[in-house]
Amino acid sequence: MREPLTNDSTFPYWVALGSLGFALVLFLSNTVPAVRERQKLQQVRGELDDRLRSFREAIRATAAGVRLGGERGNFDLQALLVAIDDAGFTPTELCAAYPDPVADTDSR
């Protein structure tokens, strides 16, 4: 019969600690760059949302026939013609469909 060893080996303890350290290094080496990249992507998304909002405002203003810039909005005749065309009219047809109201000259 064999006698039990009196000095226990610390080899499994060091292997477990080494494996834990290696796993921790792998985890951090993959997680930290991913977190940084996510933050950068969120920042870029915010910038793109701001640009999209400003582009939509510019499109809305152009569709309404107002040129951006200046203190007052100046009417853009080209945008007005495009809006008339989008409504399915020519300028002549639009004037015929919506005539100017006749002023009442017979007021007493």
Range of the domain at 43: 24-63
Question: Does residue 58 lie within any of the structural domains?
Answer: yes
Distance of alpha carbon 46 from alpha carbon 108, whole angstroms? 64
Question: Does residue 34 lie within any of the structural domains?
Answer: yes
Query: Total structural domains in the chain?
Result: 1
Question: Does residue 36 lie within any of the structural domains?
Answer: yes
Question: Does residue 76 lie within any of the structural domains?
Answer: no
Q: Is the whole model's pTM more than 0.85, yes or no?
A: no
pLDDT at 42: 97
Q: Taking 60 as the threshold, does the pLDDT of residue 68 lie above it? A: no
Contact 87, 94 (CB under 8 A): yes
Mean pLDDT of the chain: 80
Check residues 5 and 68 and name the one with the higher pLDDT: 5
Question: Does residue 7 lie within any of the structural domains?
Answer: no
Half-sphere exposure (CA, 13 Å, Cβ side) for 89? 13
Question: Does residue 55 lie within any of the structural domains?
Answer: yes
Question: Does residue 42 lie within any of the structural domains?
Answer: yes
Question: Does residue 57 lie within any of the structural domains?
Answer: yes
What percent of the chain is predicted at pLDDT more than 70?
Answer: 73
Check residues 78 and 17 and name the one with the higher pLDDT: 17
